[in-house]
Amino acid sequence: MAGAAHPGLVGIFGRPYLDLETIVFERAWGNASGPASAAIFPELHEEICLALAQMPLDYTGGSHRSMDIMPEARRSEALVDYQEVIRGMTDAEFETFRSLSDDPRAIDASRRRELEFGEERAISLSRRQMQWLKIRFGVFFPWKGYVELIPNRKWEDKSNAEGKSFTRAAEAFFPKTIAFVRSLPFASIGRCNIMGLEGFDYGTVHRDGDPADQSAPDQFITVVPAANKRLYLWDDRCTREVDVDSRVYWFNDFDYHGVRADPFFRYSLRVDGVFLPAFYRSLEERFHAR
Ligand SMILES: [Fe+2]
């Protein structure tokens, strides 16, 4: 539990989240590239903004309610969920939906009641399908500025670096960001992406797994170079939001979390992997004892 003040959060080392901004830049942590510093944030921000302006942006989220990963009190905030929409389509609508797939032949309309689509499901949505779901049915995709720098197909593989690398587009558009990511204290990196939200959108409150199934929190670092994305944790027992007030942080993503609405585009950079042992020990020493 993340302290008496937050009985509804599991947290990390007895805290709701860890502010890593100081410790992550303290020393090289065994990485040959050496420590970066927060002084690089304005440069990263320029690079990331320019890249996002030139790249096709993907959508993510949009089915948190049907995935059953939202707290009861906040389920209505998912608005229109695409899995629910797809299930409710007429046969003619489903045929249009199927035709917009990147591979329509892979979708057997006669089995549509058994099929699931999108994030973490067997059949992913094409960009055209997402646009149609949004434009025709009003589906709410909270993250409309999503870019995978190191793609990862399944959530449970996100710490595993095997067979993965930065995409060619990422190498072309994000050289400074990639150098920065490589300077972070990871022994291996299995996933790296930009999570951007359009102005006025919010990130629906959800959790990425059930804490009952967890032996230890998944390891990752989130960086917000512009310090303008307002993530919060949701203590479901106290029905209270807990602000994450840092530009570099790690939280337990099996705790509920969401992003507040703001009237402008904002993003974070998330890197998943396995921490260097020395870095993990240092976190334990620094945060656990206090
Ligand atoms: Fe999440």
pLDDT by position in tens, the chain (length 290): 677 789 999 999 999 999 999 999 988 887 767 667 889 999 999 999 999 999 999 999 999 999 999 999 999 999 999 999 999 999 999 999 999 999 999 999 999 999 999 988 889 999 999 999 999 999 999 999 999 999 887 878 888 888 899 999 999 999 999 999 999 999 999 999 999 999 999 999 999 998 889 899 999 999 999 999 999 999 999 999 999 999 999 999 999 999 999 999 999 999 999 999 999 999 999 998 55
Cα of 56 to ligand 1 centre, how many Å?
A: 22
The one-letter amino acid at 122: A
- How far from 78 is each of 18, 65, 66, 84, 102, CA to CA, in Å? 28, 6, 9, 11, 26
Cα of 238 to ligand 1 centre, how many Å?
A: 20
Cα of 181 to ligand 1 centre, how many Å?
A: 20
8 Å CB contact between 167 and 227: no
Residue 64: inside a domain: no
Q: Which residues surround ligand 1, an ion (CB under 5 A)?
A: 208
Residue 73: inside a domain: no
User: Same structural domain for residues 145 and 98?
Assistant: no
Q: What is the rounded distance in angstroms from the CA atom of residue 71 to the CA atom of residue 74? A: 6
User: Same structural domain for residues 120 and 171?
Assistant: no
Residue-number span of the structural domain to which 125 is assigned: 82-137
User: Same structural domain for residues 166 and 205?
Assistant: yes
User: Count of domains in the chain?
Assistant: 2
Residue 72: inside a domain: no
pTM to 2 decimal places: 0.94
Q: What is the rounded distance in angstroms from the CA atom of residue 275 to the CA atom of residue 220? A: 8
Cα of 242 to ligand 1 centre, how many Å?
A: 15
Cα of 208 to ligand 1 centre, how many Å?
A: 5
